[in-house]
Chains A and B, each alone.
Chain A
Amino acid sequence: MSRFLKHAAVFLAIIVTLAPVYWLITISFKREVDQFAAPPKWFWFAPTLEHYLDAFVTRSFGGYLLNSFIVAISSTAGALILGTLAAYSLARFRLPRHLDRKLALWILSTRMFPAIVTAVPLFLVMRDLHLVNTRLSLIVVYTGFNLPFVVWMMRGFFAEVPRDLEEAAMVDGDSRLGALWRIVLPLVVPGLAATAVFCLIVSWNEFLFALVLTQTDDAMTLPVGIAGRVTQYGIKWGVMSAAAVVAMVPILAFAISVQKYLVRGLSLGAVKG
């Protein structure tokens, strides 16, 4: 009996979790008459692709999608390169006066900053540099956003690699960086890949800085593009839902690809900007 109740409770929680997402997906495939139907049509309706074509062919969501991809991939690459080097240093070297530990804590603490606190001055700086409405401005900001997370994740992964391996390589005449590149990095590739996926999610999802730094179609990312439609009068619900579904798909793919590291990454606050 109690076992039945337990399963029922979990089942209910899963319904509440998934039903709203399912509703979004149905709206994106419904003709307008079905969208406004009362009582709501949860299951039976004639599906259509018109909203997807409208959003991504007629309107400029294809461009936003491209911007999102470019910004997410470039900033992830930037954060991985800088963060991995720093993480290796923090994992392997003891600096005088516990500087290594202090630096690691400081790096983590930069994540605690409310985004709105840095958004105002960063906008002004980017404006002075004529970088507003460029993808570059977002790439730079997201690289910084993801750096603390990369440093902390990779520091953990490096610490799991025995020192003997690279020291043996160094005795054989390798330089420290040569040993890092040829011996250590290949061993942490799974962790590196998982870290990359979390960075992609953060950059892909980020909203506030994208809103502040991009106001034209040249650099606008998908979330800001959708938000621009949401707050207008006479909302095209189908177009908006279709774009939201497309914004969701990569996240699902990412999440499935890091199943094994999901708990570790998410607990570290991976997906929050």
Chain B
Amino acid sequence: MALTLRRNASDRALPYVLLAPAVAVLLLLTIYPLIYSIRISLQGESGNWTVQNFTRLLHDQFFLSALAHTLIYAVSALTIEFFLGMALALLLDTQMRGRAIYRSLLLLPMMLPPIVVAVVWRLMLNSDFGALNGTLKAFGLHTESLTWTASPKLALVSVIVADVWQWTPFMFLILLAGLQAIPQEPYEAALIDGAGRWQTFLHVTLPLLKPAILIALLLRTMDLLRVFDQIFILTEGGPGFATETVSLYIYRTAFRFANFGYAAAMSFVLLLITNVISLGYMRMLQTRD
């Protein structure tokens, strides 16, 4: 402290006193439940200790296919959202009249409640009266086979469409912020060197944008791997189990079959997967030079 303030015992305690309530609440809502679920995942029906819940995972077809759905969902949505978000960010990084309004409008979907997004896409994709099929039909296309959320083949595509619609704006937002933080000088240097637009993008923009790209991908990956809301409301994991992701299977195990121990074991696997992947991203972020 620059000033000679009286520093008695209560002054020294103040930083901790201010932090204590928040830390206590977070401990109670994250660490305590975590310990609780370690315990229930390792306990058998008679209260004995066992790793049964974890070994069972390896042979559980529902779990393995839920894992596959989650990965397909995450990789496809991430790829599409990244390229669309990048294209939008590059478009709006240029001088354009009304840019601020365009940006706000484009950000709308990511703020909507997931329930509203799901209702919107049920209305768009419904095969009887949905706006999408109706409009396609008006252009003379055959839509009989496009039953979207009701079709085992197209259901996963449908939930990915809804995710892309809601979360491309987030990708766009982070990438645009990254683009606007790049100084002008490297571009001027590239111009003097006679670099073309494509070369400039590849050798100037992309390397300087790498931190923003990695952060956007990291945050989206975390959310995609745990996806629950939209799928639950759009398809409830169906038809059959065609769109059941790990989060949905955990939910079904815990709250339909009341098998809390097994659900807890699965949630550890999910936690482990998300942590390993985020560590990978972090490492790439640190070695960016």
Residues of A within 8 A of B (CB): 6-7, 9-10, 13-14, 16-21, 23-24, 27, 35-40, 42, 82-83, 85-86, 88-90, 92-93, 95, 100, 103, 107, 110, 112-125, 140-141, 143-144, 147-148, 151, 163, 167, 170-171, 176-177, 201, 204-205, 207-208, 211-212, 222-223, 226-227, 230-231, 237, 240-241, 244, 247-248, 251, 254-255, 259, 262-263, 266-267, 269, 271-272
In chain A, what residue has the closest Cβ to B35?
A: A121
Judged by a CB distance under 8 angstroms, whether B284 is at the interface is no
In the assembled complex, the Cα of A123 lies from the Cα of B267 at a distance in Å of 14
Interchain pairs with CB closer than 8 A, number: 254
Judged by a CB distance under 8 angstroms, whether B263 is at the interface is yes
Contact partners of A248 in chain B: CB under 8 A: 112-113, 116
In the assembled complex, the Cα of A100 lies from the Cα of B16 at a distance in Å of 10
Knowing A89-B15, A176-B11, A271-B110 touch, does A241 contact B26 (C-beta < 8 A)?
A: no
5 additional A-B residue pairs with CB within 8 Å, beyond A88-B18, A171-B3, A205-B113: A89-B16, A167-B2, A227-B118, A230-B119, A271-B111
In the assembled complex, the Cα of A208 lies from the Cα of B247 at a distance in Å of 10
Q: Which of A107, A115, A251 is B22 in contact with, Cβ under 8 Å?
A: A107
Contact partners of B67 in chain A: CB under 8 A: none
A244, B36: Cβ atoms closer than 8 Å? no
Q: List 12 A-B contacts (CB under 8 A).
A: A20-B123, A90-B19, A103-B19, A115-B226, A117-B267, A121-B36, A123-B255, A124-B36, A163-B2, A167-B2, A251-B112, A271-B111
Contact partners of A205 in chain B: CB under 8 A: 112-115
Residues of B within 8 A of A (CB): 2-3, 5, 11, 14-16, 18-19, 21-23, 25-26, 28-30, 32-34, 36-37, 40, 87-88, 91-92, 94, 96, 102, 104-116, 118-124, 128-131, 134-135, 137-138, 165, 169-170, 173-174, 177, 219, 222-223, 225-226, 228-229, 232-233, 236, 247, 250-251, 254-255, 260, 263-264, 267-268, 270-271, 274, 278
Q: Which of A39, A120, A223, A241 is B123 in contact with, Cβ under 8 Å?
A: A241
Contact partners of A115 in chain B: CB under 8 A: 226, 228
Interface hub of B14, B116, B251 (most chain A Cβ within 10 A): B116
Contact partners of B173 in chain A: CB under 8 A: 263, 266-267
Q: Which of B91, B121, B250 is A10 in contact with, Cβ under 8 Å?
A: B91
B33, A122: Cβ atoms closer than 8 Å? yes
Closest 8 CB pairs of A and B: A144-B29, A121-B33, A40-B134, A114-B226, A86-B22, A89-B18, A93-B15, A223-B115
B137, A39: Cβ atoms closer than 8 Å? yes
Chain B nearest CB from A5 CB (Å) reads 10
In chain A, what residue has the closest Cβ to B110?
A: A271
B270, A117: Cβ atoms closer than 8 Å? yes
In the assembled complex, the Cα of A171 lies from the Cα of B123 at a distance in Å of 64
In chain B, what residue has the closest Cβ to A40?
A: B134
Contact partners of A254 in chain B: CB under 8 A: 111
Contact partners of A88 in chain B: CB under 8 A: 18
B123, A6: Cβ atoms closer than 8 Å? no
B120, A21: Cβ atoms closer than 8 Å? yes
A266, B170: Cβ atoms closer than 8 Å? yes
A124, B109: Cβ atoms closer than 8 Å? no
A120, B278: Cβ atoms closer than 8 Å? no
Q: Which of B26, B94, B121, B129 is A40 in contact with, Cβ under 8 Å?
A: B129
Q: Which of A9, A86, A177, A247 is B116 in contact with, Cβ under 8 Å?
A: A247
In the assembled complex, the Cα of A125 lies from the Cα of B122 at a distance in Å of 35
Chain A nearest CB from B240 CB (Å) reads 15
In chain B, what residue has the closest Cβ to A21?
A: B120
Knowing A120-B264, A125-B36, A251-B111 touch, does A114 contact B225 (C-beta < 8 A)?
A: yes
A40, B135: Cβ atoms closer than 8 Å? yes
A148, B33: Cβ atoms closer than 8 Å? no
Chain A nearest CB from B178 CB (Å) reads 10
